[in-house]
């Protein structure tokens, strides 16, 4: 690929305020610069080409007509495609809103989607790829995470007050990534059509305007109305923003694409912008859902594979209102014969072989929800009948006897479910760390912790040993841990599932000997890249990345019955 890199934004739009060290240092306290970036590495599973000097230079923003239009997977697919061709590529999402997060090597916190995109590039996740993260704790307030560290709890008005400093952080990180990497593929947030948020926009057209990024708009045809979504999103924008919208991608298409072509031709005629491609609906792509939109109540997780033995093992994962790190249960869904389903009704717990109480951004509030819905009583009855239950992070805390929370909910002392004998106290700072260790029988485990809660007292036997310290509880068949990602440790997961099946009476269930969550994730990343290579106009994509938005794009205006001018 050839072409020149577009000019960097003017210095005035990449201002860097030196008077706020918290906002301009990494999670480890080391100032960022273009020389202190994440090293480009051949992470296992990335089939890099041997091209010594990739020639592509530039950046691109993938925006969406709606939330969950497919921005994250399109970015991951483009990143993977470029990495396989030997291009030094990095992902970037200026601002994310998600309770699904991971911990980086330097102890920071970023959205899980950006961690997946980093892996697609062959990189370790870094706070540079997602400098601003909002973690909703209620309908009105979110925890604000900047460069990997929680700095405030904000509502809409509070967030406006942080706008300038956040804009500086975003601009500085994008500039440093563009200095270090050949290509940066940016992901928007929500939709640029949310013009009520334009004044504080850091991730969509606000970013594109500041950095002069060409923008490709993704629409989800599976929801219906995609042509109206694409046209309307462009038309509702300010003229200066419209000049950066350079083309469209239609996502999740089922059927014969030739039937769609007349509509795409008309879209081009109306907007003066091409459709770069139509990506098919791919049921195989399900792992690493970005946010709660991927955890639909009463819906299965993944694509259940037939059992190896005579019986299935059924898992009911409780779909909490403020669920976080819902992806923990995806490792179970990778196993043949394990059927995982999100549930919100106590009746769905009765026949399940295993119930998982996952993490939450609002432990006390979601505990109240469990009681209000009757699920708490169902869990107590289940434990009394010696039937398997697993609590992870916030779910683990709920299983204890007592929670003292003066940090998140500020509710003070709250009674837990009493299924494990432990007391939890919430305290600052938030624990953010990767951890390794072993479970029973010295089986290796690994994962990461993101929580305010500390175990103050317990008489339960520990379940794990992490970095030499006992962790979790094992009052079998009730288990609990703060460790996210635990079930991705393949040998541990297999051994534990055998124990769960025995307690559930599923003597006909057989655990596969070779299921690998890492391999499954790698296969899905490569499938994404294959879909991008097969279905998108790569030459046009390359021109946008290297040359920027074309000059003289048509400006649309909405004028009621007169249509487009």
**If residue 486 lies in a helix (H) or strand (E), which one and from where to where?**
none
Whether the pTM exceeds 0.85: the reply is: yes
Distance between CA atoms of residues 511 and 498, nearest Å: 7
Strands 109-111 and 101-103: antiparallel
CB-CB neighbours of 479 under 10 Å: 25
Token reading at 156: 């809409």
Strands 359-360 and 89-92: unpaired
Q: For position 559, what pLDDT does the model report?
A: 59
Q: For position 35, what pLDDT does the model report?
A: 27
Q: For position 289, what pLDDT does the model report?
A: 65
283-304 per-position pLDDT tens digit: 888 877 665 555 777 889 999 9
Q: For position 55, what pLDDT does the model report?
A: 53
Q: Are 504 and 354 in contact (CB under 8 A)?
A: yes
25-29, 237-241, 413-417, 481-485: the lowest-pLDDT one: 25-29
**What domains sit in the chain, N to C, each tagged with a CATH number?**
61-100+110-123+163-285+522-554 (3.40.50.300), 309-511 (3.40.50.880)
154-187 per-position pLDDT tens digit: 887 777 788 889 999 999 999 999 999 999 999 9
Q: Are 309 and 497 in contact (CB under 8 A)?
A: no
88-138 per-position pLDDT tens digit: 999 999 999 999 999 999 899 999 999 999 999 999 999 999 999 999 888
Q: For position 37, what pLDDT does the model report?
A: 34
Q: For position 18, what pLDDT does the model report?
A: 29
Cβ neighbours of residue 361 closer than 8 Å, sequence gap 6 or more: 99, 135, 136, 137, 143, 322, 323, 324, 394, 408
How much of the chain exceeds pLDDT 90, in percent? 79
According to DSSP H, which parts of 450-516 are helical?
Answer: 490-504
Distance between CA atoms of residues 12 and 498, nearest Å: 60
Cβ neighbours of residue 254 closer than 8 Å, sequence gap 6 or more: 222, 280, 281
CB-CB neighbours of 7 under 10 Å: 8
- Average pLDDT over every residue of 219-231: 95
Q: Are 179 and 33 in contact (CB under 8 A)?
A: no
Distance between CA atoms of residues 185 and 73, nearest Å: 12
Longest C-alpha distance within the chain, in Å?
73
Q: For position 388, what pLDDT does the model report?
A: 99
355-374 per-position pLDDT tens digit: 999 999 999 999 999 999 99
Name the residues annotated as catalytic. Answer: 393, 484
Instruction: Name which of 115, 157, 118, 112 is nearest 135 in CA terms.
Output: 112
In the predicted model, is pLDDT for residue 207 greater than 60?
Answer: yes
Instruction: Name which of 189, 182, 177, 237 is nearest 37 in CA terms.
Output: 177
Q: For position 124, what pLDDT does the model report?
A: 97
Token reading at 134: 């909002």
What is each CA distance from 264 to 278, 280, 521, in whole angstroms?
10, 15, 33
In the predicted model, is pLDDT for residue 64 greater than 90?
Answer: yes
SS3 content of the chain, % helix, strand, coil (to 5): 35, 25, 40
What confidence tier does 426 reach under pLDDT thresholds 50, 70, 90? very high
């Amino acid at each position: 690929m050839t072409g020149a890199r577009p000019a960097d934004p003017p210095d005035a739009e990449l201002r860097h305020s030196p008077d706020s060290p918290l906002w301009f240092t990494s999670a480890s306290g080391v100032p960022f610069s273009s020389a202190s970036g994440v090293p480009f590495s051949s992470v296992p599973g990335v089939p890099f080409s041997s091209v010594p000097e990739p020639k592509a230079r530039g950046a691109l923003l993938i925006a969406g007509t709606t939330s969950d239009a497919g921005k994250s997977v399109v970015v991951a697919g483009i990143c993977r495609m470029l990495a396989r061709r030997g291009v030094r590529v990095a992902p970037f999402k200026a601002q994310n809103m998600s309770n699904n997060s991971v911990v980086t090597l330097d102890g920071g916190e970023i959205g899980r989607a950006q961690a997946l995109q980093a892996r697609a590039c062959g990189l370790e996740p870094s706070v540079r790829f997602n400098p601003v993260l909002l973690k909703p704790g209620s309908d009105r307030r979110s925890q604000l995470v900047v460069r990997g560290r929680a700095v405030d709890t904000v509502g809409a008005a509070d967030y406006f007050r942080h706008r300038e400093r956040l804009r500086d952080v975003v601009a500085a990180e994008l500039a440093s990534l563009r200095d270090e990497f050949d290509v940066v593929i940016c992901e928007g947030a929500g939709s640029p059509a949310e013009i009520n948020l334009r004044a504080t926009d850091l991730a969509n057209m606000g970013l594109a305007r500041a950095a002069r990024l060409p923008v490709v708009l993704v629409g989800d045809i599976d929801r219906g109305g995609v042509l109206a979504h694409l046209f309307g999103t462009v038309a509702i924008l300010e003229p200066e923003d419209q000049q950066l919208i350079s083309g469209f991608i239609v996502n999740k298409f089922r059927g014969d694409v030739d039937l769609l072509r007349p509509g795409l031709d008309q879209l081009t005629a109306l907007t003066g912008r091409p459709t770069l491609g139509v990506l098919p609906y791919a049921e195989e792509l399900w792992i690493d859902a970005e946010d709660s939109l991927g955890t639909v109540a009463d819906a299965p997780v993944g694509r259940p594979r037939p059992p190896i033995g005579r019986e299935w093992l059924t898992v009911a994962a409780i779909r909490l209102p403020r669920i976080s790190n819902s992806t923990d249960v995806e490792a179970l869904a990778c196993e043949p014969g394990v059927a995982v389903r999100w549930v919100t009704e106590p009746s769905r717990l009765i026949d399940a072989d295993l119930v998982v109480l996952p993490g939450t951004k609002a432990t006390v509030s979601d505990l109240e929800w469990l009681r209000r819905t009757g699920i708490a009583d169902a869990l107590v009855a289940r434990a009394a009948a010696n039937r398997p239950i697993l609590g992870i992070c916030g779910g683990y805390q709920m299983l204890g006897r007592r929670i003292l929370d003066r940090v998140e909910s500020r509710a003070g002392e709250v009674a837990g479910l009493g299924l494990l004998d432990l007391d939890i106290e919430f305290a600052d700072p938030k624990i953010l760390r990767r951890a390794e260790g072993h479970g029973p029988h010295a089986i290796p485990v690994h994962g990461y912790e993101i929580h305010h809660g500390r175990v103050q007292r317990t008489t339960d036997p520990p379940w794990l040993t992490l970095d030499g310290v006992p962790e979790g509880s094992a009052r079998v068949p009730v288990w609990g841990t703060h460790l996210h990602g635990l079930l991705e440790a393949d040998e541990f997961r297999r051994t534990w599932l055998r124990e769960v099946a025995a307690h559930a009476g599923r003597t006909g269930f057989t655990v596969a000997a070779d299921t690998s969550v890492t391999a499954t994730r790698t296969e899905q990343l490569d499938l994404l890249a294959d879909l991008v290579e097969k279905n998108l106009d790569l030459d046009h994509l390359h021109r946008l990345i290297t040359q920027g938005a074309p000059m003289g794009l048509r400006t649309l205006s909405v004028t009621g019955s007169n249509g487009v001018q």
